[in-house]
Structures are given as structure tokens and as C-alpha cells.
Structure 1
Amino acid sequence: MESGTGFEAVHPDLRDASVFLTGGASGIGAALVEAFLRQGARVAFFDRADASVAVEEMEARTGNRPLFVQGDVTDTPALMAAIDTAATAHGPVTVLVSNAADDTRHDAQEMTEAEWDACLAVNLKPYFFAAQKVAPMMEAAGGGAIVNMSSGSYLMGVPRLSAYVAANAAIMGLTRSLAREWGGRGIRVNAVAPGWVMTERQKALWASPEAVEKHSQRQCLPELMQPEDIAGGVLFLASGAARMVTSQMLVIDAGVSVTG
């Protein structure tokens, strides 16, 4: 992500905010980590991949070094410990971005119970327990913001992603329920549903020229989406600019889906 492009709004209240993000080593997650770093936030992120090189690169680009904790979001005690580590280093977490996901394709007819459980263990369970963990910190700090990364795939009912789509639909339900339950504690809970973003994973596995051409024709804006295109919406929902926005889903998909 390049600074000074004219597309990066500044949210002063995010400076020095304690931000925790899951899945920040690559793709959309890495773009989000860097976006918060550019705001001057104190950012910690949790990922199973080794992000030590990415940390150095992010610091070189932004002048702000993130805290990286390696681990798997399916290991709930490890995730809880990582949040504690972040809070010790940066202060109580007041912004949580749950982003870690696995969109591996599968044939619904052939999917096993173990594969179903594994999909939800990555794509849903950590969203709840990370939120549960940070909620008391946010309440004690006077409030906070949770941004759950869902997916436009559930709005479109994309085939060969039945468990993933189900998890992302559930993320929106979870978002609305927590927003209602925790609003009195000063905690806002929203979701972002990205469309097809051209991450390195997507380009390597599924973004054939034919598939990309077909999808771009469904977009109102024909330009292919990049990870950085998601950052502005997440920063907005995390910031005081969205202080009265909760229980909502922001779709960032270049106009593929119609909501409202």
C-alpha cells in the first residue's frame, strides 16, 4: 500500500489505539494491518504463517512496527493468549478485526463431517471467542469496535463453498446479535463483506483469465479489486467516524451485490 495516493483518510482517534487482527500475514489481512499502522495505531496480529519478513517490510514502509504472534485460530487457548499478549504490549484491545478465513473449494456432495467441522473451526468459531475475550477490555476502556470480515460469497450463494458460505452468513448473524447484546457496554459490532479480491492466493488458485473476465462483467466498476480496497471501509467502522454505526454489514464488491 502506497501512502499519499489520495485514497487514505486519516482517523485521528485510531492513533495509539490498541488493535488486534487475526489473519494478518498476507492478502486482505496484511493490507488491513498496514492500514492501521499508517493511522498510528498499535497493531498486533495473529497468523499461523511466519510473518517475520512481512513485519520488517511493514515497519520499513510505515515507520510503525506491528506485533506478530504466530499461532492457529482453531487453537482457542492460543488465540486467547495472543490477545493477552497484545493487551500487555499495547494496552487493552479497543479494536478487534476478525479476518482469518479459509475459502478452500469443496464438493458439497462429497464433504465429510470432519471437513465441515474444520471449515467452521476456522471461519466462525474464532470470531465469537475473540469477541468474547476483548469485550471486557473494551467495556473497561469506555467502548470499542469489532469488525468481522464476512464475504460477498454468501450474498451470491457461490457454489462449491457451502460450508464457507454458511459460516459467513453466520458471521453476519453473530454480528447483529452481539451488537444488540453489547451496545449498552459501548461496543459496536459490524461486518464487512468483500467481493472477489485479487490476493496472491486467489490469483494462484482460482483467478483464471476466463473466471476473472466473467466476474468483472458482474461488477458495476470493472477494475479488479485489490486488498487495499477493503481497508478504507474497515478503518471507518473501527473509528469514531462510525460512532453510531453498529449491527451493519458494509459490502465492498465493486457493485456485484444489491442490498437494501
Structure 2
Amino acid sequence: MMPSAIFPDLKDRSVLITGGGSGIGAALTEGFIAQGARVAFIDIAEKPSQALAGRLEKQYGNGPFYLNADITDVELLRNAIAQAIDKNGPITVLVNNAAWDDRHDIDDVTVEYWDRNQAINLRPQFFAAQAVVPGMREAGGGSIINFTSTSFMINQGDMPSYTAAKSGIIGLTKGLAGRLGPEKIRVNAIAPGWVMTPRQREHWVTEEGLKTHINKQVLREEIQPGDMVGPCLFLASDAARMLSAQTLIVDGGYL
């Protein structure tokens, strides 16, 4: 469900979302499109991304600009961002959403696996921010929103490289906020709880496991991808103009 709130300052804003073609990312893409923003999104999965772009164009008359790129290749990431800027103008909202949360046991992790995992889950967030900062400076400010996770906060033990990356995102968020705040560029993070994306349902959700998890939430409902949209729109908008270096936990009160 898309939030009912309208943030007028987001209309016509140039927004870039990584991993915007499915799951939480697809909900974010639609959320900004519904606000009238000019949205570009990067995703490696071509077919679902094209389908999303087509559906949103038909539904809103304001389709997003889809860019196919592997964000683990920093040059490809930079080139995609440059194309988004050429299309929509200087990016003033960056949403670093892309991630890969596959499970892995400590005994099975190789150096190559570790580096690949960090190259998906942490490294692109910095280099995407680096690429959009000049345009934000030119525009007089902007908002960077980094998606982290509550997984490291609850000591989840079956994906140590992923949780290391997600905790690193909070350090990156605070460091960038400190550096960029004087230039009116705000940097915040969102930490989702267990969001019921199709990927989660396909690979890891069991009836008993989900029931146990929800019973530990204060709000005892499944968390949907659309539940991340309102918090993200708020952080992107001028409604949060004095909010930076923060992590917004959206987990139904689990923590």
C-alpha cells in the first residue's frame, strides 16, 4: 500500500534508486513516481525491471527511467548514474537500496565470497553517494538514504558477511552526514525488519517462523515492502530538513 501523504517538494525532484526493480526497491520506485518525482532506478534483473517501468508508466503516466547495471562494477555504476543525471537532471535524492541477503555459514565463507558480498552490500553505497554529491552541491542540498537492516541488531547468525556490511552502512551514513551536512546534504539510514518480499517468501519464510517473529513485534502484522515507502519519502523531503546522521528502524516494534 502506498502512503496517502503527499510531499509537494518531491514533485519533479530527480531521484535515483539502486535495486529499484523488485521487492522493497520496486515499492520505493512506485512511491516516488506517485509523488510526481523524476525517478531513475538501477537493477541488474532486466525483465522484472522493464515490466515495473511499463506498469508505472501506464498507471501514473510518469514512468521511471530504468538502467541495467551490475553495481559491483564501480565504473558501470558511475556510468548508469551519469545517464540518470543526463535524463533527469542533478540527483537530489539518492536511495541506496540494493542488497543481496543470501544466507551463508561462517565455515563456508571464502575470501572471494566475502569480497563479492561486500561489493554488493556496502561498497556501492559509498560510490553512488560520491557520484551524486557534485550535483547535490550544485543544487544547494540533497538527501541520501541508505538502507541497512535490523539483522545485525538482533544477532542474526546465518549471514555474517551481510550483517557486517549492514552495520558498516550505519558507520558510512554517520561519516557522510558529518562531512556533507555543512553543504546541506542530509544522510540517513532506514533499518527494515523482516519485510515480506517475494524473495523472502520463496527462500526463507515458514509459517511457524513468521508467526514466532510477528509475535515478537509490537505491531503484530506482516511488514510489507510498501511499509518502507512512507519513511523513505519523509527522509527525502523537506519535512525532515533538520534530520541527519540518524537510523530509522522500521520493524513493527520488534526491537
- Fold shared per TM-score above 0.5: yes
SS of equivalent residue, structure 2 residue 143:
strand
- Taking the aligned partners of 1:240 and 1:118, their CA distance within structure 2 comes to 36
Q: In structure 1, what is the Cα distance between the partners aligned to 2:213 and 2:61?
A: 37
Equivalent residue in structure 1 for 2:22, among 15, 18, 26: 26
Which residue, out of 110, 129, 133, partners 1:135?
133
State the identity %.
Answer: 49
The unaligned stretches of length 5 or more in structure 2 are none
Q: Gaps (5+ residues) in structure 1?
A: none
* Partners of 1:97 and 1:217 in 2: CA distance: 30
Q: CA deviation at 1:222?
A: 0.8
Residue 58 of structure 1 deviates from its aligned partner by 1.5
Give distance in 2, aligned partners of 1:152 and 1:61: 33
1:114 corresponds to: 112
* Alignment match of 2:99 (pick from 101, 124, 133): 101
Residue 83 (structure 1) shift: 0.8
User: How far 1:112 moved relative to its partner?
Assistant: 0.8
Give the Cα separation in 2 of the matches to 1:201 and 1:104: 10
Checking the alignment, whether the CA contact within 8 Å between 1:34 and 1:62 is kept in structure 2 is no
1:62 deviates by 2.2
Select the residue among 213, 216, 237 that pairs with 2:214: 216
Q: Secondary structure at the match of 1:255?
A: coil
Structure 2 counterpart SS, 1:222: coil
* CA deviation string 1:10-55 (max 9, x = no partner): 0000000000010011000000000000000000000000111111
Residue 93 of structure 1: how far off its partner (Å): 0.4
Matched, 1:8 2:4: yes
CA distance in 2 between partners of 1:10 and 1:89 (Å): 24
Q: Does 2:89 match 1:91?
A: yes
Cα deviation code 1:89-120 (max 9, x no counterpart): 11100000000000000001221111111110
Match of 2:31 in 1: 35
Partner letter of residue 214 of structure 1?
Answer: T
Displacement, 1:167?
0.3
Confirm or deny that 1:82 pairs with 2:72: no
**How big is each residue's C-alpha offset from its partner over 1:205-238, in whole Å with a ceiling of 9 and x where there is no partner?**
0011111111111111111010000000000000
Aligned length: 253
**Aligned residue for 2:191?**
193
Kept in 2, the 8 Å contact 1:46–1:69? The answer is yes
TM-score with structure 1 setting the length = 0.96
Q: Report the 3-state secondary structure (helix = DSSP H, G, I; strand = E; otherwise coil) of the residue aligned with 2:36.
A: coil
SS of the aligned residue for 2:16 comes to strand
Q: Which residue of 1 aligns with 2:154?
A: 156
CA distance in 2, matches of 1:75, 1:8: 37
* TM-score of the aligned structures, taking structure 2 as reference length: 0.98
Q: How far 1:185 moved relative to its partner? A: 1.2
Residues 56-99 of structure 1 deviation map (CA, whole Å, 9 limit, x = unaligned): 11222222110000011101111111111111111100000000
SS of 2:101's equivalent in the other structure is coil
Whole-angstrom distance in 1 between the partners of 2:56 and 2:24:
14
Q: CA deviation at 1:154?
A: 1.4
